[in-house]
Structure formats: C-alpha cells, structure tokens
C-alpha cells in the first residue's frame, strides 16, 4: 500500500516537473521515443490498440512514465519482458 502511494506521488511530481521544465520534457520525450520503438518491434505489441498483450497497458502512456532502473539500466516494473 505504501509503495502504491509512493508511486502515485512520484507520478504527480513527474507531471509537474514535465510541464515546468523544458529540458526535463525533452529528456522524457527522447526516452519515450526510444521505448515506443522497442515496443513497436515486440511480438506482444498489439498495433490496433497500441497496447501490450502481456500487461494490458496503453503503451503511448506507459513509455512516458518514470520507472526506477536496476543495475543493468532496465526499468523496474516497466517492460515485463525487460526490453527497456
């Protein structure tokens, strides 16, 4: 429960930062473009709805979210296949 609240608060903070900081906005945009290209080439990406068949997420939104990274630089709780 605490981790969910933390994730929600981090999400709100990220959106405030996104709208107030041009450099942060560019950083997020660049990373989102990299992630969506990976998703579009994935066998689990369903093009008509632009969502992932594994997690069910709408990928145009998920690729813009902040995820902590592990030691390999892959997102934790981001891509279930660990592709980004």
Q: What is the pLDDT of residues 31-83, one digit of tens each?
A: 999 999 999 999 999 999 999 999 999 999 999 888 888 888 888 889 999 99
Segments making up each domain of the chain, as ranges: 2-62
What is the number of other CB atoms lying within 10 angstroms of the CB of residue 39?
A: 21
Specify the residue for token string 């942060």: 24
Could you give the CA distance from residue 34 to residue 48 in angstroms, rounded to a whole number? 20
H or E stretch including 32? helix 22-40
Instruction: Give the residues across from 51 on adjacent strands.
Output: 46, 58
pTM over 0.75: no
């Amino acid at each position: 429960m605490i981790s969910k609240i933390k994730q929600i608060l981090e999400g709100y903070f990220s959106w405030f930062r996104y709208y107030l900081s041009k450099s942060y906005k560019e950083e997020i945009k660049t990373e989102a473009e990299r992630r969506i290209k990976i998703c579009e080439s994935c066998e689990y990406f369903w093009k008509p709805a632009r969502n992932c068949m594994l997690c069910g997420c709408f990928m145009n939104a998920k690729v813009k979210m902040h995820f902590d990274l592990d030691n390999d630089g892959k997102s934790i709780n981001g891509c279930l296949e660990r592709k980004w």
